[in-house]
Amino acid sequence: MIADTYSPLEGMLMFVIYMVVGYGALRSLMVAWFYSNLPIHLFNFLFKEDKLYTRDELSVAMTVKFPEWIAELLDCPTCLSFHVALWCSVLVVLLFGLPNWYVPLSVLYWPGQYWSESKGKSLLSLIPKIGKKNG
């Protein structure tokens, strides 16, 4: 357990580091999957009889080759980021002995932070300023 190894301040610092590193890993995986040709090349490597060139062709081919729920999971940014966050956080808990509440906290934080930043807004910019009048 993290509490057995570190003082409270060191434990909190390690927890913050795990949150930041996990978010960075999720962001890197999502950018590589949705903003590059990686899934097209991977599909072409796995299924040599098909030759795909665009994301639209990939979406159609995935619905033909895979069950519908897997095709939707791989083509839906929100779905995939949630599942990647879930399994990465479970792995971190198992490997590093963090408390179990790390899983729901990171699953709720990582995908939301990624998608708010990908839309050009950080979570801090969504918080209304104190004393500023709306309108």
- Mean pLDDT, rounded, for 114-133: 51
Q: Please state the pTM of the whole predicted model.
A: 0.70
Q: What local confidence, expressed as pLDDT, does residue 4 receive?
A: 61
Q: Could you report the per-residue pLDDT of 65-78, keeping only the tens digit for each? A: 999 999 988 988 88
Q: Which of 51-60, 64-73, 124-133 shows the lowest mean pLDDT across its residues?
A: 124-133
E strand residue ranges, the chain = none
Q: Residues of the chain with pLDDT > 70: what percent?
A: 77
- Mean pLDDT, rounded, for 106-128: 59
Specify burial of residue 121 (Cβ count, 10 A radius: 0-12, 13-18, 19+).
Answer: exposed
